[in-house]
A = this chain, B = another copy of it.
């Protein structure tokens, strides 16, 4: 590898002490940065000979702590694996290294009229390898679906250093879906070292509107009505009052009225000729639901301006609070208003500021809790509030994560949505790929229940 690509100095390791879940920090034993499948295989072979646990890492933007590595583990990072391996416009396929940044794939595909659809909010930083690990979503996944819909092949290196090809035929190869179960396995099965994905043709046109509401529940009603109209927006995003005020107080000010309690971004894409009619119907639904103002965009610049409050929400909150816990849960769309009200009550009870930014169209909530991690009592209130929020989501018929994965953060909630048998089946599926349990330990699955009478 060469010394330059093996990081072991304590000061340099600090950069790897957490990912986007900043509440928890640990320092890995070392970080290794291989540059291709062969090097990953050799690195994994050596680490396995020594029985060292391995934590894969992309850009470290994950929000559930999936890249957290304790002092025993070596991080295998993909920061140098950023190449486009093959672009095949005719078949609308790309094969890339896992360290390629999500937005860069679209940049490379754009001259061919193509783009990569899943668009996490972190897309200018997060890697495709990380997206595969977390089965990432994004605002436009309402219409286009999440990462798993686009991955058609993977080259994977497992713990011992074996190189395994999964799919890679432009679609599933037949047989049980090893490829599908690897996507979203959060670095616990192996490291994807090559990724084949489907690209889509750029939609001819895009139309965006921003509706401002005095009540969050009215924005929720507008979402329900737009969907009930049979419209299929590309994105349907709500920013609540607390978030609006955070954005407007920051350098990212987007011109949203600070006395509003919700802003709803609605976007349609497709054939230019049909967009105006869709937008018109959505505007009517917003007004009927009680929007006090509806803005539409006449140019690409205006479109970006309407999006700014949504896109910069996390950045803005980072400026007003010391730390930010970006929570993630899903509920049936019809339960959005009720669940948001209950999240508000949870925040009030724990004296925490919770600002909500979320993918309303598919019921994927992101309650953002502001706190100060140096204050132990603050952190424990965040954990309590998170637990209560998860319980509310599950009680409403939803689940504990929408797109951020389980990681370390959600392990404790897995039993809310999975039976002991399900969890045991997951343990056995992990063992198919990682029989020694040395890939990204302590993530996803809760510790198995103690067996009565078992030897200690």
Q: Does A174 count as interface, using CB distance less than 8 angstroms?
A: yes
- Name the contact of A333 in the complex, choosing from B91, B232, B399 (C-beta under 8 A): B91
Q: Does A34 count as interface, using CB distance less than 8 angstroms?
A: no
Question: Known: A145-B145, A421-B164. Contact between A173 and B273, CB under 8 A?
Answer: no
Task: Report the separation of the CA atoms of residues A89 and B162 in the bound assembly, to the nearest whole angstrom.
Answer: 47
Most chain B CB within a 10 A radius of its CB, from A91, A93, A330, A362:
A91
- Name the contact of A425 in the complex, choosing from B185, B277, B362, B433 (C-beta under 8 A): B433
- Name the contact of A330 in the complex, choosing from B162, B169, B418 (C-beta under 8 A): B169
Asked whether, in the complex, the Cβ of A227 is within 8 Å of the Cβ of B397, the reply is no
- Name the contact of A169 in the complex, choosing from B176, B275, B417 (C-beta under 8 A): B417
Chain B residues whose CB sits within 8 angstroms of the CB of A270 once the complex forms: 270-271, 274
Question: Known: A90-B224, A164-B422, A277-B271. Contact between A135 and B172, CB under 8 A?
Answer: yes
A248 to chain B, nearest CB (A): 32
Q: Does A191 count as interface, using CB distance less than 8 angstroms?
A: no
Asked whether, in the complex, the Cβ of B176 is within 8 Å of the Cβ of A334, the reply is no
Q: Does A444 count as interface, using CB distance less than 8 angstroms?
A: yes
Interface size grouping (class) on chain A: 35 or more
A298 to chain B, nearest CB (A): 19
Task: Report the separation of the CA atoms of residues A145 and B419 in the bound assembly, to the nearest whole angstrom.
Answer: 30
Q: Residues 152-186 of chain A: 1 if any B CB is under 8 Å from the residue's CB, otherwise 0?
A: 00000000001011100111111111101101110
Stretch at the interface among A368-376, A377-385, A400-408: A400-408
A427 to chain B, nearest CB (A): 9
Chain B residues whose CB sits within 8 angstroms of the CB of A224 once the complex forms: 90
Q: Does A230 count as interface, using CB distance less than 8 angstroms?
A: yes
Q: Does A140 count as interface, using CB distance less than 8 angstroms?
A: no
Asked whether, in the complex, the Cβ of A399 is within 8 Å of the Cβ of B92, the reply is no
Most chain B CB within a 10 A radius of its CB, from A188, A333, A444:
A333
Q: Does A410 count as interface, using CB distance less than 8 angstroms?
A: yes
Task: Report the separation of the CA atoms of residues A422 and B176 in the bound assembly, to the nearest whole angstrom.
Answer: 10
Task: Report the separation of the CA atoms of residues A274 and B401 in the bound assembly, to the nearest whole angstrom.
Answer: 37
Q: Does A315 count as interface, using CB distance less than 8 angstroms?
A: no
Asked whether, in the complex, the Cβ of A430 is within 8 Å of the Cβ of B230, the reply is no
Task: Tell me the nearest residue of chain B to A202, going by C-beta.
Answer: B230
- Name the contact of A171 in the complex, choosing from B164, B230, B402 (C-beta under 8 A): B402
Asked whether, in the complex, the Cβ of A444 is within 8 Å of the Cβ of B176, the reply is yes
Chain B residues whose CB sits within 8 angstroms of the CB of A445 once the complex forms: 175
- Name the contact of A180 in the complex, choosing from B180, B201, B444 (C-beta under 8 A): B180
Chain B residues whose CB sits within 8 angstroms of the CB of A227 once the complex forms: 90, 92, 201
Asked whether, in the complex, the Cβ of B173 is within 8 Å of the Cβ of A400, the reply is yes
Task: Report the separation of the CA atoms of residues A227 and B201 in the bound assembly, to the nearest whole angstrom.
Answer: 8
Chain B residues whose CB sits within 8 angstroms of the CB of A352 once the complex forms: none
- Name the contact of A399 in the complex, choosing from B91, B169, B231, B422 (C-beta under 8 A): B169
Asked whether, in the complex, the Cβ of B397 is within 8 Å of the Cβ of A169, the reply is yes
Q: Does A108 count as interface, using CB distance less than 8 angstroms?
A: no
Q: Does A241 count as interface, using CB distance less than 8 angstroms?
A: no
Task: Tell me the nearest residue of chain B to A201, going by C-beta.
Answer: B230
Most chain B CB within a 10 A radius of its CB, from A90, A231, A276:
A90
Question: Known: A145-B149, A230-B202. Contact between A399 and B174, CB under 8 A?
Answer: yes
Task: Tell me the nearest residue of chain B to A232, going by C-beta.
Answer: B201
A95 to chain B, nearest CB (A): 12
Most chain B CB within a 10 A radius of its CB, from A175, A332, A429:
A175
Chain B residues whose CB sits within 8 angstroms of the CB of A397 once the complex forms: 169-170
- Name the contact of A90 in the complex, choosing from B185, B228, B278, B429 (C-beta under 8 A): B228
Chain B residues whose CB sits within 8 angstroms of the CB of A181 once the complex forms: 176-177, 180-181, 429
Q: Does A139 count as interface, using CB distance less than 8 angstroms?
A: no
A40 to chain B, nearest CB (A): 17
Known: A91-B332, A170-B330, A201-B230. 19 other contacts (CB 8 A): A90-B334, A92-B227, A113-B230, A145-B145, A169-B397, A170-B332, A170-B397, A173-B400, A174-B405, A175-B406, A175-B414, A175-B422, A175-B444, A177-B180, A177-B185, A178-B425, A201-B232, A274-B275, A429-B429
